[in-house]
Amino acid sequence: MVDFRLDKEYEELRDSVRQFAREQVAPVIAEHYEKKTFPYEVIRQMGAMGLFGLPFPEEHGGMGGDYFALCLVLEELARVDSSVAITLEAAVSLGAMPIYRFGTDAQRTQWLPRLTSGEALAAFGLTEPGAGSDASGTLTRAVLDESRGEWVINGTKAFITNSGTDITCLVNVMAVTGTNPDGSKELSTIIVPSGTPGFTVAPGYSKVGWCASDTHELSFDDVRVPAANLLGERGRGYAQFLRILDEGRIAIAALSVGLAQGCVDESVTYAKNRTAFGHAISDYQAVKFLIADMDLRAHTARLGYYDAAARMLAGDDFKRYAAIAKLNASNAAMENSRWATQVHGGYGFMNESAVGRFYRDAKILEVGEGTSEVQRMLIARGLGL
């Protein structure tokens, strides 16, 4: 029997985060968004709730939960604000998860307790000014100075989330460390602690959306870190990242569903209270149908990420289903934000309105952690095409 209803523990977690988002995030996030400031007080509260440690074992300071629990939390946060949601997603999926999955015991002991508690944040440095979806275009290089037992890193990274906050402690950096026998680039991942000499964080970007999240360009000028900072096997950096990215697509799908559902929530409330020609606009069939279609998109997208997460947790091959979930959910977020703005009229075009922020935040969901075109490639590949 197929049952999409949540277990009691999942329901309780979802409900507690929903209440937190409405009572603690919603009242303050508009000001952070407008001023483009990072919501440290909200992040501290999320850390106290254990949200940064959800999918990690208790021995590493985690909550002993699973990846689906993280996805439920991301959905509920994004129903109110995506900047907070992406901060959590990137900190867990891209920052802490690579260390948990591929790190040595010493690396896990050194870094995970601070990351899983939310005391500190970590980032993943993959994208470069000339290399995004095509990681083979990576130019950042790391040379092993065997005489000193150190990696020497030079290069630039772009659009790196959580890389420049006051509590950022490290960046996992993808770099070229040699040449494979077939002539291709050998890619490896190296942990670079914040504050390492030669590691420079540029001023934050001026972004269309996610204005209360932290995003920077990074430069590495003869940055030296111990050889022991190699994360996982040398030459396996890209393969490791692909595994992390497959999981992350489910998380981004959940975040996208949250935004899509937030558009429904805001539109229902507004339509019931806004009057035109003597009636609430919810009385008009055109508005009813717009919102019904929005709910349809959010619900079906939710089922998609539920399915992908279930396959992942069961140990099945989930790559194609993660791509389907991410593609469908990001489309739903983009469409719903468009029509929620339409329902709200002029009010929806104001930055202080929730749907105005949703509209600005939605587009990046079709780009980050694999563009929509990349998702279609993965789906087709999964079908043997």
Calpha distance 76→62 (Å, rounded): 20
Name, in order, each residue with C-beta under 8 angstroms of 12's C-beta and a sequence gap of 6 or more: none
Answer yes or no: are the C-beta atoms of 204 and 183 closer than 8 Å.
Answer: no
Q: In this structure, what are the phi and psi dihedrals at residue 178, rounded to the nearest 5 degrees?
A: 165, -160
Q: Which two tokens stand for residue 116?
A: 């899983």
Give the C-alpha distances (Å, rounded to integers) separating 293 from 266, 343, 377. 14, 12, 27
Bridge partner list, 221: none
Calpha distance 67→79 (Å, rounded): 19
Choosing from 128, 217, 247, 369, which is the catalytic residue? 369
Mind giving me the DSSP string for 76-122? Answer: HHHTT-HHHHHHHHIIIIIIIHHHHHH--HHHHHHHHHHHHHTSSEE
Report the alpha-carbon angle 219-223-227, nearest 5.
130
- Which of helix, strand or coil describes residue 133? coil
Residue 31 annotated to the active site: no
Q: In this structure, what are the phi and psi dihedrals at residue 235, rounded to the nearest 5 degrees?
A: 85, -5
Q: Which two tokens stand for residue 380?
A: 């087709």
Which residue matches tokens 């993965």? 378
Amino acid code (one letter) for 162: N
Q: Taking the alpha carbons of 130, 131, 137, 143 in that order, is the dihedral positive or negative?
A: positive
Q: From the CB of residue 217, how many other CB atoms can be counted at a distance below 10 Å?
A: 20
The catalytic residue positions are 369
